[in-house]
Chain A
Amino acid sequence: MDFGAINPILLVASLMVSATPILLAAIGEMVVEKSGVLNLGVEGMMITGAVVGFVVALNSGSPMLGFAAAALAAAVLSLSFGILTQYLLSNQVATGLGLTLVGLGLSALIGKPYEGMKAPSLQDLHIPLLGDIPVIGPMFFQHDIMVYVSLALVAAVWATLKYTRFGLILRAVGESHDAAHALGYKVVRIRMMAIFFGGACSGLGGAYLSLVRVPQWTEGMTAGAGWIALAIVVFASWRAGRIVVGAYLFGGITVLQLNLQAAGAQVPVALLSASPYLITIIVLVTISARGMHGAPASLGRPFHASH
């Protein structure tokens, strides 16, 4: 066994890249769930973002434009979910699953002519001063801009939910939509905004896959990343800070086990791959045993002012 072959600097650097797509999707989904809506269509929105981001970046030559288009496209798609569940009161679970199927099919259709092409690459930033610090620099401060955008987004979500009036209203809607409604808040409108935001984040996560992590379009390329994002929200018990922990844990274990294998270590690969899910179950059991699961009380319940 030779752990010496693993370079911890490169390991942490590739872990951050590997975790970014699910981090983006998970933080968006957390906001959606905080508002009391369960959107199981993350996978579909991610893959839509992946294909739209790729197509726009390829045609415009600008990865940033690709990201913007990906966020918009996935957000628009998520609005269809919002209209169905919020205005027409369809079942959230079924509609979310439908959204995944629509996203997978739609992306395959849009992406057909773009298979096998190469995306314009997103340059890595070299942050002055911080990037020059030995060891820490290459680990944390020489990534592409989206890695920092994802972390900034998490910080922004955390601060908004905790310190702002809007955050408080959003949480109130998620905890008890009847009470929030009685106070005069527009429950449906707030939920639509949350769904829109969640869609945009998923789209960014998908575009990160097709523009940075894999840099190409392949049909079905998210390969379940959306479902992992959903698991991370539960793992994090709906807290922004723990979303980062969860995403880096999931991404980190994948990268770590591949590195261990490449280093020739005899690791139980299947067990390591399953470990984030096992940890999620343990976390769930622990928090529910303590009597506080952290899930918004109105999660998944439909709301209509007349009820």
Chain B
Amino acid sequence: MKRRTLLASAAFAATLGTAALAQDTTKACFVYVGPIGDGGWTYQHHQGALAVKEAYGDKVEIAWQESVPEGADAERVLTQMALSGCDIIFTTSFGYMDATNSVAAKFPNIKFEHSTGYKREHPNVSTYNARFYEGRAVVGHIAGKMTQTNKIGYIASFPIPEVIMGINSYYHHAKKVNPDVELVVTWAYTWFDPAKEADAARAMLDQGVDVITAHTDSTAPLAEIAKQDGKAWGFGQASDMATFMTNDDGTPGPRVASIIDEWSPYYVKRVGALMDGTYEQVDSWAGMPEGEVVIGEMNDAIPADVKAEAQAMIDAITAGEYHPFTGPINKADGSPWLAEGETASDGDLLGMGFYIEGITAEIPN
């Protein structure tokens, strides 16, 4: 009995201790699906985390955990983070959706922010995403102009709306400038497996594809493209991947541009809001205008006029004058989707489960 009382009071004291500490500094925690060193998706999220630290200095404490598998493990990691005094937890992969919501139910005083998901089952869960399809539109345009074989490739991860949206945007804008273009999609069924990503790139290159964009996290596809002696091109994904900007011999090289996920503005804003008490539940979906989707430097492998066109598109999207999904666009089965001049609604995009007209493959179940 005595021991139990002791334990209870110790636990009580510990709770008090954390509560007192929490008032001094705000603790922002991050859960990553891959290693920070992936050079892509997770790396960029971590840059955002570091930006939070940079912005608020001693007033904020950051913590993170890398390579957390999606599924049951995620729930355990989240619970542990919640117990360790995190005030706000960012879960940075689609597959953490259910774990985030179920842990959020148990810790109503802690804010949860889930990236790329759509479930907000509790008032303390917010979701945030970036309009990557805006970036895909720009690289699609470049791909359509640069392909010599008229075959462009897309290394896809999982058949979810996020990825399908990217495929459609990429193809739509390639097709616009090159009516003969054909799209090849390979599903890797992984976010991060450098060997498999390289194999997927090679399979497409072997079949005559010469411009590839990836929806997976590592730089392996670019390394594979680099072996083609300047006959094929690719794009940095999630991160700038500037190492591949030039070949070993100094010629401009396999990475001609990149789509950069810039999470810093959002992370700094949200942690700031939490600190000054203006925090509210949101469903954020920002893009180029807010600086969350950025096109990395275009190298000299891209002809000057194509570069100018791409820049014009970036400017138009940033200014809010152009929506990458502007009709007329039909679905793959030929039925109309968007009429002339009509733009896609966010709801349509977030639930996207179809290809647009011209893509011959089918979406796997």
Contacts and interface: CB of A to CB of B under 8 A. Distances in A.
A182 interface: no
Contacts of B360: 264
A259 B194 contact: no
Among B185, B202, B220, chain A packs the most CB atoms within 10 A around the CB of: B202
Interface string B235-268: 0000001010000100000000000000000000
B291 interface: no
24 contacts: A7-B207, A18-B199, A21-B195, A108-B37, A111-B37, A118-B243, A118-B248, A209-B194, A218-B37, A222-B195, A223-B192, A223-B195, A225-B195, A258-B188, A258-B199, A259-B203, A261-B185, A262-B184, A262-B186, A262-B204, A262-B209, A268-B364, A270-B364, A273-B189
A220 B34 contact: yes
A264 B184 contact: yes
Interface in A254-274: 254-255, 258-259, 261-264, 266, 268-270, 273
Among B185, B192, B203, chain A packs the most CB atoms within 10 A around the CB of: B203
Given A14-B206, A269-B187, A254 B243 contact: no
Contacts of B77: none
A221 interface: yes
A262 B203 contact: yes
Interface string A212-226: 011110111111110
Given A116-B39, A118-B243, A118-B248, 6 more contacts: A18-B195, A214-B224, A223-B192, A258-B188, A259-B207, A269-B187
Nearest to A116: B243
Nearest to A114: B37
Given A218-B37, A259-B207, A269 B198 contact: no
Contacts of A273: 189
A215 B189 CA distance: 22
A115 interface: yes
A261 B243 contact: no
B332 to A, nearest CB: 13
A259 B208 CA distance: 12
B362 interface: yes
Contact of B219 (A6, A108, A216): A216
Contacts of B39: 115-116, 218
A214 B248 CA distance: 16
Contacts of B61: none
A259 B184 contact: no
Nearest to B364: A269
Contacts of B184: 262, 264
Given A108-B37, A218-B219, A255-B199, A262 B194 contact: no
A214 B223 contact: yes
Interface of A: 5-7, 10-11, 14, 18, 21, 108, 111-112, 115-118, 121, 209, 213-216, 218-225, 254-255, 258-259, 261-264, 266, 268-270, 273
A216 B207 contact: no
Given A14-B202, A214-B220, A255-B203, A219 B209 contact: no
Nearest to A217: B37
B242 to A, nearest CB: 8
A218 B153 contact: no
Contact of A258 (B38, B186, B223, B227): B186
Contacts of B186: 258, 261-262
B67 interface: yes
A246 B16 CA distance: 58
B140 to A, nearest CB: 18
A217 to B, nearest CB: 8
B358 interface: no
B200 interface: yes
A18 B202 CA distance: 11
Interface residues of B, number: 44
Contact of B198 (A118, A214, A224): A214
Contacts of A214: 194-195, 198, 220, 223-224
Interface string B145-160: 0000000010000000
B194 A115 contact: no
Given A5-B207, A115-B37, A220 B219 contact: no
Contacts of B219: 116, 216, 218
B198 A213 contact: yes
B361 interface: yes
B203 A261 contact: yes
A159 B219 CA distance: 40
A273 B203 CA distance: 16
A259 B150 CA distance: 18
B220 A254 contact: no
Interface in B163-217: 184-190, 192-196, 198-200, 202-204, 206-209
B35 interface: yes
A220 B203 contact: no
B92 to A, nearest CB: 16
B218 interface: yes
A6 B184 CA distance: 13
Contacts of A215: 223, 227
By Cβ-Cβ distance, the 7 closest A-B pairs, closest first, are A219-B35, A219-B37, A258-B203, A223-B193, A10-B206, A261-B186, A259-B203
Contacts of B206: 6-7, 10-11, 14, 259, 262
Nearest to B224: A214
A110 B192 CA distance: 20
A121 B249 CA distance: 13
Contacts of B203: 14, 255, 258-259, 261-262
A189 B241 CA distance: 48
A191 to B, nearest CB: 31
Contacts of B195: 18, 21, 209, 213-214, 221-223, 225
Contacts of A219: 35-38
Contacts of B196: 223, 254, 258
Contacts of A221: 194-195, 218
A188 B198 CA distance: 41
A269 B207 contact: no
Among B185, B199, B227, chain A packs the most CB atoms within 10 A around the CB of: B199
